[in-house]
Chain A
Amino acid sequence: MYGGGNTFEGIKTDSIANEDPILLAAFEARIERGEKIEPTDWMPQLYRKQLIRMIEQHAHSEIIGALPEGTWITRAPGFKRKMSLMAKVQDEVGHAQLLYSAAETLGKPREQMIEDLINGKSKYSNIFNYPTFTWADCCFISWLVDAGAIVNQLANAKGSYGPYCRALDRICAEESFHLKYGHHCVIYLASGTDKQRQMFQEALNRWWPPMMHFFGPADKISAHTEVLMRWKVKMGTNDEMRNQFLDMYVPKIWELGFTIPDEKLKKNESGKWDYTEPDWEEFKRVINGDGPCNKERLEVRRIAEERGKWVRDALKSPKAKYIMPLA
């Protein structure tokens, strides 16, 4: 699961000037005609750096994203939900595995990426810094946060880097179950008892503001990313992705009789969605460490890594040399 990520910071494009213009032109022509870039191809430094950052952030979002829903694994109501939630959270770990591998093909070892997650250097999708108070909060994530992630993933699957595309193809195939499962859970809450309906309405009220942050800052306050669009690293603007999500899912939420806590939310005459401008200061605050669960999320990862260290140390081969995965 992945949101657009933080694009407040500008991207330093100076390094492009130092690249061999002939190689650069051939590289851009390949992307232009829709041919994928593979790990052994020549690529500009900036492309490699930005892709590592993006894929790595996506991977971290998956492994951290396993935690808010993981909160409810031991308490899922009934066999069906129990087994499905286990499978879904397992998939998130699986997606992290696939994405770390894709990022590794660009030259950054997995231990370095995990290290950077734990020490706070690398970011992950901000929405996971919020707590899942109830089963209904868990269902919100399973349905709507996954829905948001799928909007991003479907777009990124058409990007230029082969390994990332392959990982996303697999991820999108597995996500179809997640989305259907999430919607199924919410339909049952909506059509259930008053208590169940209320549980979801309250969860929706809590999660709507972070969901509006999910696709990243509004275009008008975002840093310029033309080169990333040209290189098919970024496949749509934050606002475009957000609008697509609203278009697909607000009607489905309203259909179930729930109210969304934004009076301004409506589709305007031009077909785009109007909404109250999200609080981008709050977003900045939380993504920089001051959210309700930031500390806990990283601490859980750190503890997991430390507890597992003896296992990995025991089986490590002293003669092994590092080599990147192939594809």
Chain B
Amino acid sequence: MNNQALKELLYKMADDQLILGHRNSEWTGMGPLLEEDIAFSSMAQDKIGQSLALYTLLQELGERDPDTVAFTRSANQFHNCQLVELPNQEYDFSLIRHFLFDTAEALRFEMLSESSYEPLAQLARKIRGELRYHTLHANTWIKQLGTATPESIERLQKSLEYAMPFALGIFEPSPYENELISSNIFLGEENLKKRWMEKVESVISQTNLNLPDWNLVKPELGGRLGTHTAHLQPLLDEMSEVFKIDPTAEW
């Protein structure tokens, strides 16, 4: 088993979940409906919890403890896709991002439940129920708002077009795609992307939204290699503000 390839996979997955969970947690107390505020916050907690599980797997592979890894790295050391670091904007964007990302996430973990790396396969099987709820939530909101009023449809459409290039960045190939596939750790980003496109098409086709032409969307890449938008460093600075008062202190 190639530890480098595995660690690369775990880091990017954990970073995605941490950053998106952090972004989604910004809505707590400010959501469009009390009950939805509560639901969105639960899913953000799930994401952070799942990232913690992955950083813990990394620690078992020799990396540093999760708090140090999450709260002291700088932006160019993070491997999240750029999609998750974008600011929240309005609820239409957050819902579209939730839909695009969580659809991929659920499929990724579905594939990983057959992984040759047993701890990851176990985690994948364990959180399947959580991810099932996340996609139920996302699909329901997109389908309902995507067929409701001219305003809701227009808002979602704009967000979909804006998010799509960044969403394709989820599948930016790893330098270790071949090792991951040949060692059966993970069947690869291409494979995942195909399944994701089918799923996305099937949900969007039940709305009045128009999916951009896959061939015409230029993916925003770089996140997996540590190249980020101007938004990530300020996010990390904010996230680590108290922690960095004294990284050796116990809080």
Q: Which residues of A line the B interface, CB within 8 A?
A: 63, 66-67, 70, 72-79, 81-83, 86-87, 89-90, 92-94, 96-97, 100, 135, 185, 188-189, 192-193, 195-196, 300, 303-304, 307-315
- Among B49, B149, B251, max chain A CB count under 10 A is at B251
| Given A74-B25, A311-B32, A315-B144: 5 more A-B contacts, CB < 8 Å | A75-B242, A78-B71, A193-B246, A300-B30, A314-B145
Q: Would you mind naming 15 contact pairs between A and B with Cβ atoms under 8 Å apart?
A: A66-B28, A70-B29, A73-B26, A78-B67, A83-B48, A90-B45, A92-B29, A93-B34, A304-B31, A307-B90, A313-B151, A314-B148, A314-B149, A314-B151, A315-B144
The 7 closest A-B pairs by CB, nearest first: A308-B32, A314-B152, A66-B29, A314-B148, A77-B243, A311-B32, A77-B251
- The secondary-structure label for the interface of chain A is helix
| In the bound complex, CA of A313 to CA of B151 (Å) | 9
| In the bound complex, CA of A311 to CA of B39 (Å) | 15
Which of A77, A89, A307, A315 is in CB contact (< 8 Å) with B28? A89
- Among B30, B67, B249, max chain A CB count under 10 A is at B30
| In the bound complex, CA of A311 to CA of B156 (Å) | 11
A97 contacts B251, C-beta separation under 8 Å: no
B145 contacts A73, C-beta separation under 8 Å: no
| In the bound complex, CA of A72 to CA of B243 (Å) | 12
A79 contacts B67, C-beta separation under 8 Å: yes
Which residues from A are CB-within-8-Å of B240? 75
A86 contacts B242, C-beta separation under 8 Å: no
B249 contacts A193, C-beta separation under 8 Å: yes
B29 contacts A93, C-beta separation under 8 Å: yes
A90 contacts B28, C-beta separation under 8 Å: yes
A86 contacts B246, C-beta separation under 8 Å: no
Tell me if B42 counts as interface (CB < 8 A to partner A). Answer: yes
Which of A77, A97, A189 is in CB contact (< 8 Å) with B38? A97
B window 131-178: CB within 8 A of A: 144-145, 148-149, 151-152, 155
| In the bound complex, CA of A300 to CA of B27 (Å) | 12
Tell me if B33 counts as interface (CB < 8 A to partner A). Answer: yes
Which residues from B are CB-within-8-Å of A72? 242
B30 contacts A90, C-beta separation under 8 Å: no
A93 contacts B28, C-beta separation under 8 Å: yes
| In the bound complex, CA of A127 to CA of B139 (Å) | 40
Which residues from A are CB-within-8-Å of B243? 77-78
CB 8 Å contact bits of B227-251 with A (1 = contact, 0 = none): 0000000000011111101100111
